[in-house]
Amino acid sequence: MSFKVRVEPEARADLVAAFDWYESQQEGLGLELLASAEATFSLLERFPEAYYEIYGDFRRAPIRRFPFALFYTIEEESVRVIGIFHYRRDPDGWKERISHFLKR
């Protein structure tokens, strides 16, 4: 069974900001980030339970080669990505984002 990955607008904005920063550092590096993120999305389509729950029903999937992780939850037959956070820059930002989504 394949799950549909839904990327929330806030998570998409996180990824765009990271892309822009990496591209400003070295041309093409942002594209490598996007490719690594896409590989993680593909993994979640097939194996959404591959990563442990870290906060309630929310899970963290690292993006290979970059210090970022996708934060997501599994909802019936879909994976809902609510944020993409840098491990060091904002170590608690994901908790705020999860709290925001739980209030919806």
Question: Quick one: which of 2, 9, 1 has its CA closest to 81?
Answer: 9
Which residue blocks in 26-82 are alpha helix, DSSP H? 29-46
Q: Which structural domain, as residue segments, surrounds residue 41?
A: 4-102
Q: What is the pLDDT of residues 36-57, one digit of tens each?
A: 999 999 999 999 999 999 988 9
Residue 84: is it exposed, middle or buried by C-beta count within 10 angstroms (0-12/13-18/19+)? buried
- 91 pLDDT band, cuts 50/70/90, is low
Question: Quick one: which of 5, 67, 4 has its CA closest to 33?
Answer: 67
The enclosing domain of 37 has a CATH number of 3.30.2310.20
Query: For the chain, how many structural domains are there in total?
Result: 1
Question: Quick one: which of 29, 98, 95 has its CA closest to 66?
Answer: 29
- pTM here is 0.89
